[in-house]
């Protein structure tokens, strides 16, 4: 197992390496055109925790910490060094001394302190209840101490989301800052035509390197299939939101000039069992286990896309810290329809069982495969398909369903996701993106205790062991059943080099065309 740099280190301090700006190759093209499916509502980096916004703000802003190559590797970025308090109830963050904002103002501790104030007053900050925003104090010209409300071992992973904000410019601009932001990242904001494009220009005074590509144009192309056509015909250089079918086509046919980029095997597709359903069968652990035995993971994975997916019997995919290959080598619930029938009969459902499913189009093909599989053991799925927003609202805010299908991209530490989204009994929910309400099950007590231990444990090996205990317990009760894993994909022009994708973070600053 590889140790996680920064967040899972036992050391209380990690010193950043001060060095001259990196030298990068020149680029044969001065403009990079990328396509996203949807526009952002704001260029405020703390407006929401969305993949779409991440693609923009990592170009314009410096994050305090960054992912490097993999989401399990967290490295210092705007923060040069840090030190946890002895009791882990606070952290001191020291900025690099060579960061200059796009307006020419050097970054200091007053900007770092203001960053947390700005974070506090936006939606992203409201999710960070572990930060004591009333206890963020300046120590010296470049160091700020941040108090915590409780010990949180995934803190650095969460600080990857925090972008350094210039105090004076932000206060002076007011609401206009969210439409024309000033950061300190490799690219400066230039122009935003809502619903059409966002334009960025290279920051030639960037502390880390001088971006080889001088301009980035982000085009909003709502039809994913059109993105692929534009890529094939040279209209864009990167398709950020390709259809799975187009990724599969690029993998299998290898069209000239096109490459597949995988941000890591970090996505899990799963089934939620709604314990709080009006259907009493969902409260029966034996029923949930029987259904798990009836699912053929290989067939479900193949429907999504052979070459893109792999059957998974683990709540954590293979590209994430905490993954244990034993879950896939020796599944807790291998495909065994005869055993499923026996268990359903023992539970009192030998004559059949009907379950209601709420589904969005994204999961319809998977739902149909599972529907056919469960029919073989006497379980009928009544599938109702709605648009994505409607299905999500019905799943999150109601209980008129028994099963639902979900997917989660794991951005880093599993305590944040999926454990943080699959299980949160304090909020009365359990399931991906808080869609399946199972906290009423009295058997959740042990998982809650283990999650608290995980939050407060900083030793690498101890955290890994606790994660195994959490997965064992969750798999025993079958509140969530993983089906298959896949990567987080983009498609790009083969001449674009040095573009790094880590989950939903896309770093174009060091990229160039050969």
Domain map (residue ranges) of the chain: 13-243+489-513, 267-486
Phi and psi for 96 in degrees, rounded to 5? -60, 155
297-311 b/e with 16+ CB inside 10 Å = b? Answer: bebbbbebbeebbbb
So what's the pLDDT on residue 303? 86
pLDDT of 261 above 60: yes
Query: Nearest-5° angle of CA 372, CA 375, CA 377?
Result: 130
CA 224 to chain centre: 20
CA distance 205 to 62: 13
Does an H or E element contain 136, and which? Answer: strand 131-138
Three-state SS for 132? strand
Mean pLDDT of 183-204: 97
Least confident of 149-158, 173-182, 423-432, 484-493: 423-432
> Per-residue pLDDT for 11 more than 90?
no
**Is there a contact between 60 and 185 (Cβ–Cβ < 8 Å)?**
yes
Mean pLDDT of 9-14: 36
Cα separation, 463 vs 154, in Å, equals: 11
Cβ contacts of 462 within 8 Å, gap of 6 or more: none
Looking at residue 431, what is its pLDDT? 46
What is the model's pLDDT at position 133?
A: 98
pLDDT of residue 447: 86
pLDDT in tens, 49-102: 888 999 999 999 999 999 998 888 899 999 999 999 999 999 999 999 999 999
pLDDT the model gives residue 423: 59
> Angle at the Cα of 396 (from 393 to 402), degrees rounded to 5?
110
- The answer to whether residue 287 scores a pLDDT higher than 50 is yes
Beta bridge partners of 154: none
pLDDT 10s digits, 374-426: 999 999 999 999 987 888 888 877 788 999 888 888 877 887 766 765 556 55
What is the CATH code for 13-243+489-513?
A: 3.40.190.10
Q: 200-218: b or e for each residue (b if 16 or more CB lie within 10 Å)?
A: bebbeebbbebbbbbbbbb
Residue whose structure tokens are 């599944």: 331
Query: Is the predicted pLDDT of residue 198 greater than 50, yes or no?
Result: yes
pLDDT of residue 244: 85
| pLDDT value at 428 more than 70 | no
Report the distance separating Cα 232 and Cα 242, nearest Å.
Answer: 12
Can 13-243+489-513 and 267-486 be said to share one CATH topology? Answer: no
Q: Class for domain 267-486, per CATH? A: alpha beta
Task: Decide if 357 contacts 435 (C-beta within 8 A).
Answer: no
């Amino acid at each position: 197992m590889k140790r996680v740099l920064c967040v899972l280190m036992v050391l209380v301090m990690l010193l950043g390496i001060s060095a001259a700006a990196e030298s990068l190759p020149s680029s044969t093209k001065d403009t990079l055109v990328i396509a996203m499916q949807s526009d952002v509502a704001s260029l405020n980096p703390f407006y929401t925790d969305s993949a779409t916004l991440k693609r923009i703000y990592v170009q314009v802003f410096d994050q305090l910490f960054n992912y490097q190559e993999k989401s399990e590797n967290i490295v210092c970025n705007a923060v040069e060094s840090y030190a946890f308090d002895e009791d882990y109830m606070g952290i001191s963050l020291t900025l690099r001394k060579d960061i200059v904002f796009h307006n020419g103002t050097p970054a200091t501790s007053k900007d770092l302190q203001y960053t947390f104030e700005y974070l506090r007053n936006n939606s992203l900050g409201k999710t960070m209840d572990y930060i004591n925003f009333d206890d963020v104090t300046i120590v010296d010209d470049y160091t700020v101490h941040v108090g915590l409300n409780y010990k949180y071992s995934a803190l650095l992973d969460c600080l990857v989301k925090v972008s350094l904000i210039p105090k004076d410019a932000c206060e002076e601009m007011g609401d206009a800052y969210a439409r024309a932001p000033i950061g300190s990242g490799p690219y400066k904001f230039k122009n935003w035509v809502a619903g059409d494009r966002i334009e960025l220009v290279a920051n030639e005074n960037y502390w880390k390197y001088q971006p080889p590509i001088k301009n980035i144009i982000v085009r909003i192309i709502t039809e994913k299939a059109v993105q692929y056509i534009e890529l094939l015909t040279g209209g864009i250089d990167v398709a950020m939101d390709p259809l799975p079918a187009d990724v599969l086509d690029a993998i299998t046919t290898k069209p000239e000039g096109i490459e597949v980029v995988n941000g890591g095997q970090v996505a899990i597709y799963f089934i939620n069992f709604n314990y709080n359903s009006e259907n009493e069968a969902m409260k029966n652990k034996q029923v949930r286990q029987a259904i798990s035995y009836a699912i053929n993971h290989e067939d479900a994975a193949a429907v999504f896309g052979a070459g893109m997916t792999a059957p998974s019997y683990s709540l954590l995919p293979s590209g994430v810290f905490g993954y244990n290959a034993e879950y896939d080598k020796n599944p807790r619930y291998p495909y065994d329809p005869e055993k499923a029938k026996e268990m359903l009969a023992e539970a009192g459902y030998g004559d059949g069982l009907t379950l209601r499913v709420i589904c969005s189009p994204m999961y319809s093909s998977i739902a149909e495969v599972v529907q056919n599989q469960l029919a073989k053991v006497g379980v009928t799925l009544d599938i109702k398909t709605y648009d994505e927003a409607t299905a999500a609202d019905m799943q999150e805010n109601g209980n008129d369903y028994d099963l639902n299908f979900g997917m989660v991209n794991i951005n880093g530490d599993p305590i944040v996701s999926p454990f943080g989204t699959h299980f949160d009994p304090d909020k009365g929910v359990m399931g991906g993106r808080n869609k399946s309400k199972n906290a009423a099950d009295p058997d959740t007590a042990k998982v809650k205790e283990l999650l608290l231990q995980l939050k407060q444990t900083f030793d690498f090996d101890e955290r890994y062991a606790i994660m195994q205990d959490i997965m064992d317990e969750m798999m025993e009760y079958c509140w969530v059943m993983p089906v298959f894993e896949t990567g987080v994909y983009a498609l790009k022009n083969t001449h674009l080099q040095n573009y790094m994708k880590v989950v939903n973070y896309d770093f174009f600053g060091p990229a160039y065309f050969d």
